[in-house]
Amino acid sequence: MQAPTLIEHILRSQPHKASGELSRILARLSLAGRMIAQRILNAGFLGEHGEAGSINVQGEEVKKLDLLSNEIFIRVFETLPSVNALGSEEMDDVFYYDDAENRGKYLVLFDPLDGSGNIDINGSLGSIFSVHKRSGKEGRADLADFLQPGNEQIAAGYILYGPATVFVYTVRGQDSVSVFTLDRSIGEFFLTAEGVRIPEGKGSYSVNESNESKWDQKVIDLVRSFRVGTAPVGKRAARYTGALVADFHRTLLKGGIFMYPALSDRPRGKLRYLYEASPLAMIAESAGGAASDGSIRTLDLQPSQLHERCPLFIGSKKDVAYAVQSLGG
């Protein structure tokens, strides 16, 4: 029996009175994912690996594929007037189209290419997206419209460019996570899992342990308890790919916890709230899991800037609860 395509699933899941605008946004996100997947496949022999020669607002070396992926996201929404403006890891400020005054109420935030350190070594990569609605005003959205807590998201998800390309998303009020796998031969995403639930009591702990010297002692003790098995929730296997989307997807399907704690030289950690932690927290909670900055529920954090960072503890509900309790949250 042929599984439904992503577009069929989106249309079937939308409320019957819906305008269809969110469905079109999700369809465009899937188009961006398919275009980026193709670009990654061919980058090696098109000379599109390596650095772009610039530093982004994050203070990080920008890769050619970061910029190419960012351009693809800009292009796919150009002809969708329901999307008012964009927020991207790769752009300092809010991005406006020329007709910004006459566009709609949706805001799309994204990390166009996550795990960029894996580009040149053919490791897993991802794109992360978050869809918000702006408050009732007409005309051009402003920065304040983007600075919303994750619990206001309309939809969230990611594309994982691994051995296979998968599209994962959830929509506000549906409380269900669906996974689609790309059939490259026809360029179509097909449903491969729905109603995904994060397993409890097993899986991995995922953290960059080379940062130990920069952690608070409570974090050191917490990570050690997962590694040696003294954690009341049990021992976890060590897994870390350096790409948040890949580490999160494994946690979503196999259980456990991903952690990017605060560092002594980065008190709010490395990961960005609006287009990394917030959308993945919506996915985690829709799959019965949890996400926290170590004391506050990730979806309840109130960002004050577009590229705000936050510590992240995300995965199985009990593992995250144990982490928060251990950190005194």
**How long is the chain?**
329
| 136/163 with CB nearer ligand AHG | 163
Of the candidates 26, 76, 141, 244, which one interacts with ligand AHG according to CB under 6 A?
244
* DSSP summary character for residue 277: I
CA distances 22 to 83, 104, 113, 131, 141, Å, are 9, 11, 22, 9, 17
Binding segment for ligand AHG (CB under 6 A), chosen from 169-177, 194-202, 238-246, 278-286, is: 238-246
Query: Considering CB distances under 5 to 8 angstroms, the limit depending on partner class, which of ligand AHG, Mn ion, none binds residue 311?
Result: none
Of the candidates 10, 29, 114, 250, which one interacts with Mn ion according to CB under 5 A?
114
The answer to whether residues 314 and 258 touch, using CB atoms and an 8 Å cutoff, is yes
Q: Pairing mode, if any, of strands 204-206 and 237-238?
A: parallel
Does residue 251 bind ligand AHG (CB under 6 A)?
no
At a CB cut-off of 8 Å and minimum separation 6, what does 227 contact? Answer: 205, 235, 236, 238
Using CB under 6 A, which residues numbered 265 to 294 contact ligand AHG?
270
Does residue 162 bind ligand AHG (CB under 6 A)?
no
Using CB under 6 A, which residues numbered 89 to 118 contact ligand AHG?
89, 111, 114-117
CA distance 245 to 192: 18
Least separation in angstroms between residue 190's CB and Mn ion is 26
Q: Which residue has the tokens 């989106």?
A: 10
| 24/239 with CB nearer ligand AHG | 239
Least separation in angstroms between residue 286's CB and ligand AHG is 21
At a CB cut-off of 8 Å and minimum separation 6, what does 216 contact? Answer: 261, 262, 327
Number of residues located near Mn ion, criterion CB under 5 A:
4
Token pair, residue 188, equals 């179509």
Q: What single-letter amino acid sits at 16?
A: H
Does residue 208 bind ligand AHG (CB under 6 A)?
yes
Which residues contact Mn ion by CB under 5 A?
89, 111, 113-114
Which residues contact ligand AHG by CB under 6 A?
60, 89, 111, 114-117, 208, 242-244, 270
